[in-house]
């Protein structure tokens, strides 16, 4: 499935995704160093990035993202005191990139969390009930898929006004349909299994079947796509902020840092390259992780 | 003779499917337009407020709402809009009272040209690359391609666009950094002005297309009986790849190409912003910012129509490629 962004098809590969018991996959393969590296290297990179953004500024003495002085404007990278240089207002770029990363991760996890919760609930409901409920839910999801996610997100973000919470809502809005499709596809595969039928025969209500019997089987399969989804959400946030519809400046975000730096690309390209590198590294870790998880599951 | 051909075309399965899909797309389009209309109308921050600015009194806002027809109930406005749109009248911009259709006519060509150029570039490079890579899975070329694709997947288009400007415009001075030269000002400058934006979009598409096509080619080459037959006949590896496996490996790629059209439009908004191209994307941003509901509505409806049309095209392509679907033996 294409993972390029923002041109990515925001549909999770629903139909042909294999149903496997995620818990039965061996996540550590004794002596096979390469396979383990493929999984745990990006995971380590990602964890380090999250720690650097959320814990780093608390441990190390880093200037605040907006505490710079104009006297130190446009200091090039690798200068004493400002390892990655400063922006035109004299703010430390490393500090801005780390604080901006907080927003990226919050939006990525938040939006994907909401999308995951709503999407998989709707998808499982549609899959379990079938009939008219299924048709109505899935046709509505199809309509949302029929027009570009970024444009819905821009519309919602603009009308609600720029703020981090609104960005999360806007992005989660277009992650729901993909998740719903995926959850429905997996639900359909379990719906007629013996354990669900016997639960029905025992007189369990739909709600109990959904929560106790279907969810534990469906959720792990949906979760394997969440790494990809977080990457998509982080790029979407950066895109929104780049267009000025995301987190309002002076608060830093990778997107609005890139947007501010664009005016200076002829003299100081590092203004773009620093936040760009953070964004690139994070999304690459998420994509590599998604690839490794998928390979591990399909090879299990 | 002519009559026979005409009858065959009329009775053909392709036309029946096209007709059925066109019919099915009516509720989808109605739904999309209703969703957009609802979104644009229930969200806080009204048009009148945006036009009048921060100093607007409630009386002024009300007067403007009456003048713009925004005081009518929601469904009356929606059906009024729908009725007019079905007659080809997309309304006048709430901002400057210019017919939306005229504005769209000015803004569509740059976007369309760049989007089409991007698709063509991506396909022209992706298909030979995928075939070359599929010849030796896990070989050197394949690994190189995996690395390039991973870069492409992880580098958002707007970042890639800026990097391209830094390299090709700022450092090398080969191409203009921003702006769009219409084709009426000469073919050369026109092409020069669309190379960077279209290549930026194309690179992302290229990465996706090569990986998908390569995976399907490898699948075909491994498991299918007709490949074994072709090998037994003594055909060369290239011949089998290009003449036999390629056609059968196209299906997933077509699906993704079509799915991409929607997201491509979204991505193009960012690209137009970076390269300062006066297309649909910039228009969309400015009209959303100005709460110009009529323009946004028209634009999103057109985009949705394009996506529905692309889906239809994909179905027709499936039928052209696979005679089993064409003759209705597989439920499409």
Closest in B154, B201, B304 to A147, CB measured: B304
Residue-level pLDDT at A290: 85
Please state the rounded mean pLDDT for residues B228-245: 81
- Nearest-CB residue to A265 (from B162, B262, B266): B162
Residues lower than pLDDT 50 in chain A: 1-18
Residue carrying the six token digits 């649909």: B280
Residue at A46 is within a domain? no
pLDDT of B47 reads 66
* Domains defined for chain B, CATH in brackets: 13-326 (1.10.3720.10)
Contact (CB, 8 A) for A22 and A223: yes
What's chain B's average pLDDT? 79
Top residue of A135, A140, A144, A151 to mutate, by most chain B CBs within 10 Å, is A151
Does the pLDDT of residue B43 top 80, yes or no?
A: no
What is the CATH classification number for the domain harbouring A200? Answer: 1.10.3720.10
Distance of CA A176 to the CA centre of its chain: 12
CB–CB contact B153 A287 (8 Å): yes
Is A262 in contact with A12 (CB distance < 8 Å)?
no
Among the partner-chain residues B158, B208, B264, the one whose CB lies closest to the CB of A242 is B158
CB contact (8 A) between residue A6 and residue B163: no
Query: How far is the C-alpha of B280 from the C-alpha of A267, rounded, in Å?
Result: 31
Write the pLDDT tens digit of every residue in B288-321.
877 777 888 888 888 878 877 887 777 777 777 7
Judging contacts by C-beta atoms under 8 Å, the chain B residues touching residue A145 are 262
Residue B98 near residue B90 (C-beta atoms within 8 A): no
DSSP secondary structure string for all residues of A174-221: TTHHHHHHHHHHHHHHHHTSHHHHHHHHTT--HHHIIIIIIHHHHHHH
Q: Which of B274, B288, B300 sits opposite A147 (nearest CB)?
A: B300
A to B CB pairs, distance under 8 Å? 167
Range of the domain at A97: 87-299
The predicted-structure confidence for A128-169, as pLDDT tens digits, reads as follows 887 788 888 887 887 777 667 777 778 777 777 778 888 888
Position with higher pLDDT, B14 vs A186: A186
Contacts of A171 in chain B (CB under 8 A): none
Q: Do B285 and A287 touch (CB under 8 A)?
A: no
From chain A residues 208-267, the ones with a CB under 8 A of any chain B CB are: 231, 235, 238-239, 242-243, 258, 262, 265-266
In a domain, A195, yes or no: yes
Decide if A23 is inside a domain.
Answer: no
**Mean pLDDT (whole number) for B62-66:** 75
Judge whether A109 lies within some domain: yes
Instruction: Tell me whether residue A104 is in a domain.
Output: yes
CA distances in angstroms from B248 to B44, B211, B252, listed in the order given: 50, 16, 10
Please indicate whether residue B9 or residue B276 has the higher confidence score (pLDDT). B276
SS3 B57: coil
The residue-averaged pLDDT of B205-211 equals 87
pLDDT number for residue B4: 73
CA distance A121 to A124: 5
Q: How near does any CA of chain B get to the CA of A45, in Å?
A: 14
Report pLDDT for A146: 66
Residue A274 domain-assigned (yes or no): yes
CB contact under 8 A, B284 and A151: yes
Is A295 in the B-facing interface, judged by CB distances under 8 Å?
A: no
Return d(Cα A146, Cα B55) in angstroms, integer.
39
Q: How far apart are CA A231 and CA A237, in angstroms?
A: 10
- Per the structure, the count of domains in chain A is 1
Angstrom distance (rounded) from CA A236 to CA B22: 32
Confidence of residue B11 (pLDDT cuts 50, 70, 90): low
Residue A249 lies in a domain: yes
Residue A73 lies in a domain: no
CA angle, A283 then A57 then B163, to 5°: 35
Please answer yes or no on whether B39 and A156 come within 8 Å at the CB atom. Answer: yes
């Amino acid at each position: 499935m294409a993972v390029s962004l923002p041109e990515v098809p925001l549909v999770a590969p629903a139909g042909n995704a294999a149903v496997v018991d995620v818990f039965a996959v061996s996540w550590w393969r004794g002596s096979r160093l390469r396979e383990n590296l493929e999984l745990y290297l990006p995971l380590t990179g990602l964890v380090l990035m999250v720690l650097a953004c959320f814990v780093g500024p608390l441990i190390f003495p880093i200037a605040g993202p907006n505490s710079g002085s104009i006297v130190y404007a446009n200091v090039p990278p690798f200068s004493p005191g400002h390892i990655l240089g400063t922006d035109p207002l004299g703010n430390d770029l490393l500090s801005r990139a780390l604080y901006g990363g907080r927003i990226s991760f919050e939006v990525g996890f938040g939006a994907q969390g909401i999308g995951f919760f709503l999407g998989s609930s709707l998808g499982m409901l549609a899959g379990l009930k079938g009939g008219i409920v299924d048709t109505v839910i899935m046709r509505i999801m199809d309509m949302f898929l029929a027009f570009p996610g970024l444009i819905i997100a821009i519309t919602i973000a603009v009308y609600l006004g720029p703020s981090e919470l609104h960005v999360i809502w806007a992005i989660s809005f277009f992650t729901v349909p993909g998740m719903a499709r995926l959850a429905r596809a997996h639900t359909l595969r379990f719906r007629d299994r013996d354990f669900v039928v016997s639960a029905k025969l025992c007189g369990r209500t739909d709600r109990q079947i959904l929560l106790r019997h279907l969810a534990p089987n469906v959720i792990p399969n949906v979760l394997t796509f969440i790494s990809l989804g977080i990457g998509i959400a982080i790029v979407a946030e950066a895109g929104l902020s780049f267009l000025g519809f995301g987190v309002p400046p002076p608060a830093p975000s990778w997107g609005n840092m890139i947007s501010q730096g664009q005016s200076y690309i002829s003299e100081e390209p590092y203004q773009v390259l620093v936040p760009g590198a953070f964004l690139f590294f994070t999304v690459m870790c998420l994509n590599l992780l998604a690839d490794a998880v998928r390979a591990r599951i399909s090879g299990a | 003779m002519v009559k026979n051909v005409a009858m065959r075309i009329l009775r053909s399965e392709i036309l029946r499917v096209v007709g059925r899909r066109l019919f099915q797309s009516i509720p989808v389009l109605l739904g999309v337009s209703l969703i957009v209309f609802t979104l644009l109308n229930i969200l806080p921050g009204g048009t009148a407020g945006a036009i009048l600015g921060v100093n607007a009194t409630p009386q002024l806002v009300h007067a403007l709402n009456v003048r713009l027809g925004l005081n009518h109930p929601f469904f009356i406005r929606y059906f009024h809009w729908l009725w007019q749109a079905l007659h080809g009248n997309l309304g006048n911009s709430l901002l400057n009272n210019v017919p939306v259709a005229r504005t769209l006519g000015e803004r569509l060509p740059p976007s369309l040209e760049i989007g089409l150029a991007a698709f063509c570039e991506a396909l022209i490079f992706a298909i030979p690359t995928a075939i070359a890579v599929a010849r030796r899975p896990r070989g050197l070329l394949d690994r190189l391609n995996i690395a390039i694709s991973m870069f492409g997947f992880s580098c958002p288009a707007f970042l890639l666009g800026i990097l391209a400007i830094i390299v090709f415009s700022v450092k090398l001075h080969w191409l203009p950094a921003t702006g769009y030269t219409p084709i009426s000002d000469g073919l050369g400058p026109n092409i020069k002005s669309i190379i960077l934006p279209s290549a930026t979009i194309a690179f992302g598409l290229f990465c996706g297309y090569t990986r998908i096509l390569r995976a399907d080619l490898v699948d075909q080459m491994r498991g299918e009986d007709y490949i074994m037959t072709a090998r037994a006949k003594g055909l060369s590896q290239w011949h089998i790849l290009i003449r036999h496996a390629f056609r059968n490996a196209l299906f997933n790629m077509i699906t993704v190409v079509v799915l991409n059209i929607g997201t491509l439009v979204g991505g193009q908004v960012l690209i137009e912003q970076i390269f300062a191209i006066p297309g649909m994307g910039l228009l969309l941003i400015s009209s959303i910012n100005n709460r110009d509901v009529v323009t946004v509505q028209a634009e999103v409806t057109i985009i949705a129509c394009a996506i529905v049309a692309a889906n239809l095209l994909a179905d027709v392509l499936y039928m052209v490629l696979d005679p089993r679907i064409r003759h209705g033996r597989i439920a499409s």
